[in-house]
């Protein structure tokens, strides 16, 4: 059984991918400082540790004879990155630098990194291919872009092989693991939270140049993200160098369309309040995932409806659990 280190394993996508890999015969070792993650999302083999603590990460890598690292640990709120860029550069760039140094020292040479569609900035064409120019428009996107560059340099110098995944909008659940952030900034859970808390749902911007005036996003189910990570790990066993893949469905849905679909699964109606557009929100982000399809044999299996239904079931259970305490 291969041991893999999952940084950010108490967070949404990290906890899901770790669980999926467990089902595929891997042994995930979790590392998370719990800054935005949840202690109840991780089972055994959990280290409450910050990836910036290089000597400690070296120890963990060596102790468990780690075969590969899946690196999810990061801050990821666009708005916060604009108001507090240092927090993002310190954690996302500084944290990854520490991790890369620890990997080099421990002789661990395989990395899967969670990047984002935010590295593209305002798209020049849709769907977005990996060759699209990288022009991030906020510190979050820039921090991920800098990390991608660092990974290329470490790969060249230290023979690290890496897969970089640029996720579009993650949604849905896998085996009782799902999305629970405080504050929550993502669309689908926020629709449910507004309904649950009997608060208005805020819709940011209705004058975008799209068919209904609201932003269009590509919602990729988190189980599909997990299967890509599994295939990415196989790829790392065969190849060296850096490979980059978009992970999305190739299909966009507007915010209004998502709200309409979500209404079918909500326990009661929601009030919608229109707010001005948020700065740095591009009108349309849709992935071209043909590279992942061709080279990894990856095709997403789930659709928006699956993701909404799974997310709402998960949140329903969590709120019921909290109110029963």
Ligand X SMILES: NC(=O)c1ccc[n+]([C@@H]2O[C@H](COP(=O)([O-])OP(=O)(O)OC[C@H]3O[C@@H](n4cnc5c(N)ncnc54)[C@H](O)[C@@H]3O)[C@@H](O)[C@H]2O)c1
Tell me how far, at minimum, the Cβ of 16 lies from ligand X, in Å: 8
Member of 4, 5, 12, 130 binding ligand X (CB under 6 A): 12
What does the radius of gyration of the chain's CA atoms come to, in whole angstroms? 19
Nearer to ligand X, 32 or 243 (CB): 32
| Binding-site member from 10, 103, 244, 304 for ligand X (CB under 6 A) | 10
Q: Does 8 bind ligand X (CB under 6 A)?
A: yes
Token output for 204: 């940011």
Query: 51 or 270: whose CB is closer to ligand X?
Result: 51
Nearer to ligand X, 144 or 256 (CB): 144
Q: Is 170 in the site for ligand X (CB under 6 A)?
A: yes
Residues of span 42-61 touching ligand X by CB under 6 A? 50-52
Torsion of CA 46, 52, 54, 55, to 10 degrees: -60
Measure the N-to-C terminal CA separation of the chain; round to a whole number of Å.
38
Q: How far apart are CA 321 and CA 194, in angstroms?
A: 18
Q: Work out whether 78 is an interface residue with ligand X (CB under 6 A).
A: no
Using CB under 6 A, pick the residue from 81, 116, 196, 221 that binds ligand X. 116
Task: Pick the closer one to ligand X by CB: 211 or 259.
Answer: 259
**CB atoms near residue 78 (< 10 Å):** 19
DSSP structural state of residue 90: I
> Which has the closest alpha carbon to 208: 278, 112, 119, 138?
278
Q: Which residue is nearest to ligand X (CB)?
A: 11
Nearest to 168 by CA among 285, 18, 253: 285
Which residues sit at the interface with ligand X, rule CB under 6 A?
Answer: 7-8, 10-14, 32-37, 50-52, 72-74, 76, 91, 95, 114, 116, 167, 169-170, 181
């Amino acid at each position: 059984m291969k041991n893999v280190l999952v940084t950010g394993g108490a967070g949404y996508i990290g906890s899901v991918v770790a669980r999926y890999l467990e089902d595929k015969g891997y042994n995930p070792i979790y590392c998370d400082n719990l800054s935005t993650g949840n202690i109840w999302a991780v089972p055994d083999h959990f280290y409450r540790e910050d990836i910036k603590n290089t000597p400690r990460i070296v120890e963990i890598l060596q102790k468990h004879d780690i075969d590969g690292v899946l690196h999810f640990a990061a801050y990821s709120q666009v708005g916060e990155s604009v108001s507090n860029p240092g927090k993002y550069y310190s954690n996302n760039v500084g944290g990854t630098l520490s991790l890369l140094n620890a990997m080099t020292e421990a002789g661990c040479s395989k990395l899967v990194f969670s990047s984002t569609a935010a590295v593209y900035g305002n798209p020049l064409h849709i769907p977005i291919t990996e060759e699209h120019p990288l022009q991030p428009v906020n510190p979050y996107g820039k921090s991920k872009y800098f990390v991608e560059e660092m990974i290329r340099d470490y790969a060249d110098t230290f023979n690290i092989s890496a897969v970089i995944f640029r996720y579009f909008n993650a949604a849905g659940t896998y085996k009782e693991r799902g999305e629970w952030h405080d504050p929550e900034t993502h669309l689908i859970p926020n629709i449910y939270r507004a309904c649950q808390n009997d608060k208005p749902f805020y819709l940011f911007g209705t004058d975008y140049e799209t068919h209904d005036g609201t932003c269009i996003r590509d919602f990729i189910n988190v189980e599909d993200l997990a299967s890509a990570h599994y295939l990415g790990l196989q790829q790392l066993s065969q190849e060296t160098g850096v490979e980059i893949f978009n992970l999305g469905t190739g299909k966009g849905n507007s915010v209004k369309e998502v709200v309409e679909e979500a209404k079918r699964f909500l326990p009661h109606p929601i009030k919608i309040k229109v707010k001005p557009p948020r700065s740095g929100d591009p009108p349309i982000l849709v992935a071209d995932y043909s590279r992942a399809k061709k080279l990894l044999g990856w095709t997403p299996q789930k659709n928006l409806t699956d993701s909404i239904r799974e997310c709402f079931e998960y949140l329903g259970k969590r709120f019921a659990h909290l109110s029963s305490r």
